[in-house]
Each structure stands twice: as structure tokens, then as C-alpha cells.
Amino acid sequence: MVIKTLTCHNVYNYGASLQAFALQEHLKQMGHQVEIIDYLPPYMDKAYRIRFYLYNVSKSSKYYKYVEIMPFLNYLFVMKNFTQHLIKMFRQRNRKKAFDFFTMNKLQLTNQHYRSYEELFNAYLSADVFVVGSDQVWNPLFNNGRDPSFFLEFVPENKKKISYAASFGVSQLQPEDSKNISKWLKSFSWISVRESTGVKLLHDMNISADHVIDPVFLLSQDKWRHLCEEAECDYPSDYILVYNLGAVSDEIKHCATTLASNKGLKIIAVEDCKVIKYADCSFNDCGPTEFVKLISNASYVVTNSFHATAFSLIFNKEFFVYIKNTTSSRISDLLSMVKLSERMNTTNFELSVNWDNVNEMLNDTICSSKNLLNNNL
């Protein structure tokens, strides 16, 4: 069977790249021919591009009233943020190269690159089944969540359309979003989502959906370790890995430094956009392969990332998760499924995990998800 998948595969995000790879590899293991549609619209192609207009003071900013009085302040604001972006681009130039290498060598993309819904619609792509997912492809807070491309509207009417582990990333939708999503999903043969909140959102639109696990779980620990063997660098073992998305979290810092003191371990950080000054060693040049290897070698993982949490489970690593919004369904859903919710926002760093029980629960969900996918292709 020829399958084409559509996801956010090239946005310089570890989880996005790895889930795209995992679904591709699982479908190949099932005996299918798989291609990822190389769709990268301009709104998703900003990570390493320079655009002055992005740095203007927005009207929603608390500083905008001052800019109206003294317009030159906007110029200073632009230059400050532009300079910071240039510094970030320079510091992370090797990170970009590592991601580009992974995309070129591990993801089987269509020969043609597409930049718009119109280009996709006019391409008349051929496949037996089109699959959208996984990750936050339907999040209305991002442009892709309102892009008909990610609801496979370009697919000919006589072709099968399904979703695998698509995520809304939110627990509520605006009426206009619900209206569009309901219309776009009518022609799907099967819909599956990654979070229970997604099932509820669709149920409220009178659309039935199955709850399945993220694609990274569809590959075995051994498969991921095999990928790790290709990592460019040799990393030490026995360390605390910190992966802190966004602003530096005081909770993550407290957990990591306390563990380091209590266990006599060094802290290694994978930097996102901020420098982790309290780490003994930081990496700002990791690609997806190196990211997985760093988790596989760690003694502890401290994070606010869904996919860092997911790989901690895959490799049976002691981990602690800190998120501001405990109603954030992505991580809370996952931890609830394996009965490890107590590892979220905790100050008890002596918690232990019964990995036999966790692996049994994970395997049940993985088997169920694989069967659902196989039966609906």
C-alpha cells in the first residue's frame, strides 16, 4: 500500500521530527511504501530566517502606549530583538545543520516541495491512503490548526483520509474553529487523536474519534537505541539531563540542582532558546538523534517537554516534569495513562517507579493503537 503522511516535520523541534520519523518507520515495518509530504508554508518557515517586521512592538504589548508617544522606541525595540535573534542564530547554527541532516537522511520526503494549500491542491498527489498526524497539527493557536491542508482538504474525494494521533493542543475551541474543523473532517474514514481532550472536542462536534498513543511509542526501545548509535558525539553516562522549553523554569532548576547535590551527579542541558547557566555542560547543537541519545544515557531527566517525557518512559528513566498549566492535556494525559501523575510538579525527589507495571500499561496502549491503525488503513 502506498501511504503519504502530512505533519509538521521540518520546524526544528525534536518532538516534531522524531514523531514524523517514528510513524514513517512503523508504517514501513508494516510493509507499506511511505512518503512524507514536504509541505512547509511560509508561516512555519521562520526559525532560522530574518524578518525585521517580526520584532516590532505589537499593539497588545504593554509598551505600545509608549511607542505611540515616542516612535523611536520601536526602533530600539526592533534592534534589541533583532540582535538577540542574530546571536541565537549564530549560536545554534550547528543545531540547524544537525536537524537538516536528520531531515535529509532519515525522513523520506516527496520529491516536490510545497509552500501553499493551492500548490498541494493542484499537485494531484497519488496514494492509497493519506494520513495526517501526529503532534499539534490541529492546534488553532498556530496557523497550521486553521490551514485546510492539515485537514487533507487537497486530497481527491475518491482517496482515503485518516488521522493518527493528531493533537489540538487545547481543551477548548472557538465556535468558528469548530465549524471549520467539523466541515473539514466529514470526509475522513477514521479519526484518531493523541489526547482524551481531543476525543471530547470531537465528540462535542458529533464526530467519533479513537484515543491513540504518540507515534514515538510505536517503535521499540531497541529501535531507538539503534538510531542512537548514529549520534555524532559520544556523551557521558550518569548525569541529570535538563530540557527546558521556553523561559528558564525555577522549578526545573530547583529539581535539577537538588538532585545533583543529593546524588553527586553533573547536570547536562539541551538548550532550547535560553542558556541554562546552572548546568555543568550545555549543548546547543544537538539534532534529533543526539537528543534521543542524551535521554537514553541519562540517570534522571528533568523537563517540561512532552517528548522528553515520552522518551523517558521509553528508556525507563527516572524523570520529573514541571508545567505551569496542569490542565495541559498532552503531558497530564500521558502520565495519567501510566499512573505516574505524581511525577508532575513534585518536590519529592525520592519517588521511585515500578517499571514493570508502567511497561505493561504502555504495551497495552501501544498494542491497541497499532491494531486500530492497522485496521483502519
- Looking up residue 240, the CATH number of its domain turns out to be 3.40.50.2000
Whether 310 is covered by a domain: the verdict is: yes
| 40 plus 158 within the same structural domain | yes
Confidence bin at 235 (pLDDT 50/70/90): confident
Quick one: 262 and 328 in the same domain?
Answer: yes
Does residue 369 sit within a domain? no
Cα angle 50, 52, 57; round to 5: 130
Q: Do 258 and 187 reside in the same domain of the chain?
A: no
In sequence order, what are the residues at sequence separation of 6 or more whose Cβ sits closer than 8 angstroms to the Cβ of residue 176? none
Asked if the structure places residue 365 within a domain, the reply is: no
Backbone phi and psi for residue 276, each to the nearest 5 degrees, phi listed first: -95, 90
pTM comes to 0.89
In a domain, 371, yes or no: no
User: In the chain, pLDDT over 70 holds for what percent of residues?
Assistant: 86
Looking at the fold, whether 15 and 160 belong to one and the same domain comes out as yes
Indicate if the pLDDT at residue 84 is higher than 60.
no
**Predicted local confidence at residue 59, as pLDDT:** 58
Q: Is residue 223 part of a domain?
A: no
Q: Which domain holds residue 115?
A: 2-45+100-218
With CA atoms as reference, report the closest residue to 219 among 336, 316, 358, 314: 314
Last-in-domain residue among 188, 218, 248: 218
At 327-344, the pLDDT tens digits run 457 899 999 999 999 999
Q: Are residues 252 and 301 in the same domain?
A: yes
Q: Is residue 139 part of a domain?
A: yes
pLDDT at 75 over 80: no
d(CA 17, CA 96): 12
Q: How far apart are CA 39 and CA 114, in angstroms?
A: 5
DSSP state of 275: -
| Number of structural domains found in the chain | 3
Find the helix or strand (DSSP H, E) in which 297 lies: helix 288-297
| Distances, alpha carbon 262 to alpha carbons 265, 266, 320, in Å | 8, 11, 15
Residue 224 belongs to a domain: no
